[in-house]
Structure 1
């Protein structure tokens, strides 16, 4: 029974399924990017879908070519993509919150309001830190500049 299995065909079928699943995830994330109502939900959709889609496409390519060097490189790219994409999305989302990009009106932000107030106060404090409140003393005369 084992002699009748064509392993090249199995490898091609598995790689095609993985690549098509990756393309499906990327298509779904693209539709989410176009259809979702606000920046934060769009960013979540594109980050999750594109990361998983790229990972599946690369894994399918690594299985298709069936060489240890290529598979090792593909796995390294997948690991780095899975590590950096969520971090980048977090930084972009945090920057959007600090720049007061509005949320969708149906988003429940009651738990998030305390964080938003804290961030607002920290911005005021950091601006006050550089404010020079010391009175200016003129060396060469009075306020009108005469000696």
Structure 2
């Protein structure tokens, strides 16, 4: 009885993780600019992959497999958002434009401040 419950929980987790991964892939294909696409990939993709790894941890009988799945989940949570942030910042500095209908560009002020600080340091 308890094994059947575990199988149902694992199945629901796998389907949920796959659904989040599907939403991430649709977002990558449908969103208008590189920044929105990165947001979809990092948020929904990380959640989908993480839930599937947790399903593996629930399903596995081996302690080593459970620990590897949990370590993979933690690694995903720690690295994917940071990587997406760094890629977005590098894309902005490389000149990738925001979507035409974007309301506000808050990075332009920060980039100007950084350039001013660099120029001031170089003068001294």
Contact residue 98 and residue 119 of structure 1 kept, 8 A:
no
Aligned to 2:71: 76
SS at structure 2 position matched to 1:18 = helix
5+ residue gaps, structure 2, are none
Aligned to 2:91: 96
* Stretches of 4+ aligned residues off by more than 4 angstroms: 119-123
> Which has the larger displacement, 62-71 or 51-60?
62-71
Q: TM-score, normalised to structure 1's length?
A: 0.75
Instruction: Report the CA distance between 1:118 and its aligned residue.
Output: 2.5
Q: TM-score, normalised to structure 2's length?
A: 0.88
Aligned to 2:41: 46
Task: Determine if the alignment matches structure 1 residue 115 to structure 2 residue 94.
Answer: no
Q: Which structure's residues are more often helix, by fraction?
A: 2
SS at structure 2 position matched to 1:63 = helix
Aligned to 1:61: 56
5+ residue gaps, structure 1, are 1-5, 130-147
How many Å separate the matches in 1 of 2:101 and 2:117?
27
SS at structure 1 position matched to 2:41 = helix
How many Å separate the matches in 2 of 1:64 and 1:32?
30
Contact residue 25 and residue 49 of structure 1 kept, 8 A:
yes
Q: How many residues align?
A: 122
Aligned to 1:24: 19
Aligned to 1:7: 2
Instruction: Report the CA distance between 1:113 and its aligned residue.
Output: 3.2
When Rg is computed on C-alpha atoms for both structures, the one with the higher figure is 1
1:119–1:96 CA distance, 2 compared to 1 (3 A): farther
Q: Which has the higher contact order (CA 8 A, sep 6+)?
A: 2
Contact residue 11 and residue 63 of structure 1 kept, 8 A:
yes
Q: CA RMSD in A?
A: 1.9
